[in-house]
Structure 1
């Protein structure tokens, strides 16, 4: 007890504890209102319903990430802990670890420790929503803390790097770059002795050499584990517009992404491979990003860490040019914080880090102010300028506040609304169908049209009037996000009876789709059909739209930084079932949108 009082008596410790407590208060509060969306439901369903073999060695080839996150979720999921309690409990632990490391273990400036935890990616995207990225950022901070003494305590760094590798495929790439730099730093430390001496330096520390071999073995095993299967979904296949040229993607990674982590909001949570950003926005973000690179590059250069800043990010940019979405931008923020942590561990930031030409002009300016208005006034001006420099960081705090308020007021996703609807009327044992993905061959200049041509007609399309491809393993709609709330699989036509989306698209598409459509067509019309309206969803299976009522369950308002996107949760109910559960005749229009009267405050724009 005495040690605790002594520790709390230090003002800095009390400040750090206050930041952590405030962070947890914000995250827990918003978590209580947050409705898990697809990514969160998918992870929980994999953790709950997959066998250990599939979880560790099969799903990884389709999801694209190592199995650590699902393994953590499997502890509550396979032991019967309720969905949201288990999911958010694991997320809260990883988010707490991330902020604890940032606040208590790094040597970052105090202002960053106070403000950064409440910025958008660290607080909302990686705090409130349950995904493995908080653990990835935590592992990056661990690497940053242990990097300086890597040769004295190699296992500390290697353990942190293995955690990073096991958390995300992006972590694998970053670790590869760091490992290369580490090995070469040892080699070139004795380069004056010749090649033989350099080779001997690799094994001069047996403990370090064994740690390297262990890291290599783990990284290779994880790389093989996440290597995409031949029939895995390609993230570009169902985007029906041209891809951004490679050079433009490269510009995004270096000149757009850094700015979007903290200071600008020109993008969305979509695939950047297809995002065409206006030139004016790109130029503005490029200026901000260049300033960030210049400041961090100068700090890293003065500490001999410029290669650590550039090489791993160069390797990461190669992956980003192939696949990255908006919510991955926090990985860039984590990477930059990792490098800054390394820099501060080597030597804390000080006035000496200000370029001499800038420092001399600052001193001259403050001296002139002191001569005219006095030393006290000059000191106040200096403090005010320091605060102004940090004000842009509050942009990220504003995004957190905006998204959190939006999450509290409205449904982030349709998961709870759909689950509540099913539970209220005891509908989980009825037959629910969901739509699939049909891609038209008429879409020009898309990755799908290129794939379609390469198949030379060896595809299946249930339509007799158009050229298309039916991907029946794709389960759309709102049932997947509702599945975690139930012990049964709500989706009657799920691929191989799976509760989650399998991402198995390409191999044997012709035989698979033909068989699936035939099986579904042989059964009577389902009581519930969870799909958006496209006529082929009914005609291809011999259903009649007039037999159903389109029923609106709720509205979703999904925030992204300081914007939001509106969606609707809607299903089709067979008319005889509609009358049975609602005890009234179906509307003549075939549409029941009376739910809107109960949600007058929901944005409609």
Structure 2
């Protein structure tokens, strides 16, 4: 057990490891820069940039947070550059890289872990790929967590250092606010217990910790008021029809809750597959996740940090499991794990190992079992590094955004044509389980030509156009005729639904028929039969793009369409084959 304890205590000879520490940091920096050179900006990245560029400062505080669900700090930071004409691709990546390097410098130079831990952590999936290559506010969250860990030991003597670090976490993301809130609740009870023991509770107002907690409470309340979803805000789960009772009794939510700790490091299902799509792996992940819940809780109890770990972790994981989670959120769980072991390692005597683990270790005498446990442990620990490498390679070798569509428009000088982009449409029967492959195939084949037969439309959400938000950053004006038609200066996606779609359609119709269409659009719902008589749009480009998970890519395919009477004007475009193998022929010109 002495070996396990030494794993979390910086040895004296490692205090003079500046050169090797610096080398690791330089390798991390070079790796991030190299991969980001190939990385195409995804929707979350371009959306944040466009908000920073187009929204007013008043809107960044009073309007945007109600729809984005995040505090305004990231948008405010980007606005300094976006509003002054900085190029989106280079600037966004440079800002994120700087923050990531600062965070990893804190981890490498200041954490109490031995070299092998400090040198491997920066190259794990979340800290390298998800938060390093992809530019999001989570890079700031990493800095906040590590500053919190540094300040924790002397939080009672220097409360403002700890509070300001937690404030930074609260201002970075909504989930960061939840975690900081849990930590503040625990610390408040610790302070109250201390004052009661010392019979000083009635003098609480003289304690600087009280005023620092009041400060972050004011910030937290302000942020919560900012991010309360608007009535017409669209977010995952907003219209899923599940009541609170439905969620409480829905078994898969508990499966996700159980697997969360393992998914934060070595799990592969969330973000790649559904947890029930591969039952064997799902069962293994649930078992490993439950074991991690027990192990983390046991270490926290033994080191008198149970509530410091359990309350904030329970708050955020319950929200993830029962309401909404995406793969990039899970890195916050990994950061909370690091925070826990960091503050335990810096306490007097280092990390105390739970008694049952000591007994388990002494009772296992078989060399074969010990070797198996060591190998399995090594595989689990190294898996996040492998995921980071795999994800980076997949990102570099696949189209991860719609930059290619922007290139098509620029190369063919289409900026001043009428371009329509796909928006979210809810069809009748979308909520029904339909396993009729023949029906699905017929529907897919039909959509290769526009207009085409499709199911009746239940709801049209004209503001929800992620494709437009990924194309617009590469142009100085709004080039998408149907993108925010009532507010064309807003070149970001409004997360609004429950709208008057017919009113929006009328604005589209005023601009005439589209010349080009990005993705499938049910234009027969917009224009009448007379207007569309003899009009058809045929695919001239197929765009295959994807999102990258830990071990795989999730492919999507859309088509770039052109109105068939424009082929003579744009001879560089050729009709492509549909999925039935038929080649479209050019229509003969009618005699005058």
Asked if these proteins are the same fold (TM beyond 0.5), I'd say: yes
Q: Which residue does the alignment assign to 1:345?
A: 346
- Secondary structure (helix, strand or coil) at the match of 1:346 reads coil
Q: Where in structure 2 are the equivalents of 1:221-260 lying within 5 Å?
A: 221-237=222-238, 245-247=247-249, 248=251, 250-260=253-263
SS in 2 for 1:549: strand
- Per the alignment, residue 161 of structure 1 pairs with 166
CA contact (8 A) 1:549 1:578 kept: no
Match of 1:77 in 2: 82
Question: Distance in 1 between the 2:504 and 2:578 partners?
Answer: 28
Name the CA distance, whole Å, in 2 between partners of 1:353 and 1:111: 23
**Counterparts of 2:534 and 2:335 in 1: how far apart (Å)?**
50
Instruction: Name the structure 2 match of 1:202.
Output: 204
Q: Which residue of 2 aligns with 1:312?
A: 312
Deviation at 1:123, TM superposition (A): 0.7
User: 1:275-304, CA deviations, whole angstroms, 9 ceiling, x for partnerless residues?
Assistant: 655543332112211232233223222221
* Correspondence for 2:140 among 129, 135, 158: 135
CA contact (8 A) 2:260 2:317 kept: no
What is aligned with 2:221? Answer: 220
Q: Show the counterpart of 1:48.
A: 53
In structure 2, the partner of 1:459 is none
Q: Is residue 564 of structure 1 aligned with residue 553 of structure 2?
A: yes
Mapped contact 2:276–2:282 kept (Cα < 8 A):
no
Q: What do you get for the CA RMSD once the two structures are aligned?
A: 3.4
Whether the 8 Å CA contact 2:509–2:526 is kept in 1: the answer is no
Match of 1:491 among 480, 504, 517: 480
Q: 1:156 to 1:351 in 2, by over 3 A?
A: closer
Shift of 1:269: 5.9
Gaps spanning 5+ residues in structure 2: where?
1-12, 434-452, 583-592
Instruction: Work out whether 1:180 is the aligned partner of 2:185.
Output: yes
Kept in 2: contact 1:441–1:467 (CA 8 A): yes
1:364-375 equivalences in 2 (<5 Å) = none
Which of the numbers 406, 418, 423 marks the counterpart of 2:405? 418
**Which whole-Å CA distance do the structure 2 matches of 1:12 and 1:514 have between them?**
66
Match of 1:471 among 461, 473, 476: 461
Which whole-Å CA distance do the structure 2 matches of 1:537 and 1:529 have between them? 15
**What SS is found at the alignment partner of 1:402?**
helix
Distance 2:298 2:305 in 1: 10
**Structure-2 separation of matches of 1:43 and 1:538:** 30
- The alpha carbon displacement at 1:78 in A equals 1.4
Counterparts in 2 of 1:384 and 1:283: CA distance versus 1, 3 Å: closer
Greater CA deviation, 527-536 or 541-550? 541-550
1:293 — aligned with what? 293
Distance 1:388 1:269, change over 3 A: closer
The C-alpha deviation readout for 1:10-58, integer Å capped at 9, x for no partner, is: 6522222222111112111110000001111100000111111112221
Secondary structure of the residue aligned to 1:572 is strand
Q: Distance in 2 between matches of 1:129 and 1:114?
A: 21
Ranges in structure 1 where 5+ consecutive residues have no aligned partner: 1-7, 370-380, 447-462, 595-605
**Residues 488, 386 of structure 1: alpha-carbon distance in 2 compared, 3 angstrom cutoff:** same
CA distance in structure 1 between the partners assigned to 2:348 and 2:30 by the alignment: 33
Q: How many residues align?
A: 543
Q: Take 2:401 and 2:578, find their aligned partners in 1: how far apart are those partners? A: 25
TM-score, length-scaled by structure 2: 0.83
Match of 1:36 among 29, 35, 41: 41
Write the distance in 1 (CA, Å) between the matches of 2:231 and 2:73. 23
Tell me the secondary structure at the aligned position of residue 256 of structure 1: helix
Cα distance per residue 1:314-352 (max 9 Å; x no partner): 222342222212221112111211222221222465686
The alignment status of 1:101 with 2:93, answered yes or no, reads no
Partner of 2:570: 581
State the secondary structure of the residue aligned to 1:184: helix
CA gap 1:441/1:160 in 2 versus in 1, 3 angstroms: same
Closer/same/farther in 2, CA of residues 437 and 9 from structure 1, 3 Å limit: closer
- CA 1:427 to 1:535, structure 2 compared with 1: closer, same or farther past 3 Å? closer
Q: Runs of at least 4 residues of structure 1 off by over 6 A?
A: 238-244, 381-388, 588-591
Cα distance change of structure 1 residues 283 and 526 upon mapping to structure 2, 3 Å threshold = same
Q: Separation in 2 of the partners of 1:565 and 1:242?
A: 30
Distance in 2 separating the partners of 1:424 and 1:465: 35
Corresponding residue SS for 2:17: helix
Deviation at 1:580, TM superposition (A): 2.2
Structure 1 residue 130, shift from structure 2 partner: 0.6
Q: CA 1:513/1:352 → structure 2, altered by over 3 Å: closer, same or farther?
A: closer
- Call closer, same or farther: CA 1:540–1:61 in 2, change over 3 Å: farther
Matched residue, 2:380: 392
* Distance in 1 of aligned mates of 2:56 and 2:93: 22
Q: 1:429 to 1:282 in 2, by over 3 A?
A: same
5 Å-filtered alignment, 1:313-332, equals 313-320=313-320, 321-332=322-333
